[in-house]
Copies of this chain bind each other. A is one copy, B any other.
Amino acid sequence: MLRIAYFGPQGTFTEQAARALAPGEDLTPYETVRMALTAVREGAADAACVPIENSVEGVVPTTLDGLSDGDPLVAVAETILPIHFSVLTRPGGGEIRTVASHPHALAQVREWLEANLPGATVVASSSTASAAVGVVEGTYDAAVSAPVAIEHYALEELATGVADVHDAQTRFLLVRRPGELPEPTGADRTSIVAAAVNRTGTLAELLAELASRGINLTRLDARPTRNNFGEYRFFIDFEGHVAEPRIVSAMAALRRRCHLRFLGSHPRADDVAATVEPGAGNQDFVEAQAWVDAVLKGEGA
């Protein structure tokens, strides 16, 4: 059984993602994203499940920083969860005077609370799961939690599928130490972090290396380095797998231009096949290289 670290506590969306990415494995919650990643780096866990981006809140900065600092880790799988909450109460709990959750969760169910629990006092908690614990202990009357919380606490579902914005979703990664890569599927995502000198046009040049090879970006985030504005690392996700000749060509070109770290190639959770531009398919790269090789040997022109 694999030992899977996840950003806890128990009963959050990240646990739900870990169950989806590593069904039946041994899951252990860690207090922070950084601690879950450290567990993998130090060998206390075989892999870690961490959130990477949310369609409402944006990217998760601690995950980006945690992947780019320290020993290398690579993502080998991802999953996307819809962010729909359950509202949990004590069995036969009576009047709901207080409802608790993490401020981010409360912001995503504000309209639902106004419509369905208009009299309740809304209270901040440190996580959606700690709100559920607070209900068990009688501190609050209701918690806005991840659906998986019901499996840990003796509570009742007052409502499920609760969300003001119904298409909000979060993407999670399963990361481990570098090793065998997942097989290419034709619907893959490759992630890198690039640290280039702060010079006019640097990012344009990096992106041109991808664009000129017909490689489609799926995400780009600039994070300040050393906690200062003005100097940035670029987290770039694009379609394709590093085992493909077109991606190999792009990665080698980027490597010449900047400090580069590979963050993984793995199948996309949404199963969207890679766009391939005319003249930029893997066969085109292979044939072009073969032609140059032939020229070199005096066997063609």
Interface residues of A (CB under 8 A from B): 53, 55-59, 61, 80, 102-103, 106, 122-126, 130, 165, 167-169, 171, 200-201, 203-205, 207-208, 210-212, 214-224, 226-230, 232, 270, 272, 275, 277
Contact = CB atoms under 8 A, between A and B. Distances in A.
B103 A165 contact: no
Contact of A57 (B56, B61, B123): B61
Contact of A103 (B103, B221, B228, B270): B103
Given A55-B227, A222-B220, A211 B201 contact: yes
Contacts of A106: 126
Given A201-B207, A204-B204, A221-B222, 7 more contacts: A55-B227, A169-B227, A200-B214, A200-B277, A204-B208, A204-B211, A220-B220
B229 A168 contact: no
B204 A200 contact: no
Contact of A56 (B61, B169, B217): B61
6 contacts: A106-B126, A124-B124, A124-B126, A200-B277, A201-B210, A221-B222
Contact of A53 (B55, B168, B207, B229): B229
A58 B55 contact: no
A167 B214 contact: no
A103 B57 CA distance: 15
Contacts of A200: 211, 214-216, 275, 277
Given A53-B229, A58-B59, A103-B124, A210 B204 contact: yes
Nearest to A61: B58
A230 B272 contact: yes
A224 B214 CA distance: 21
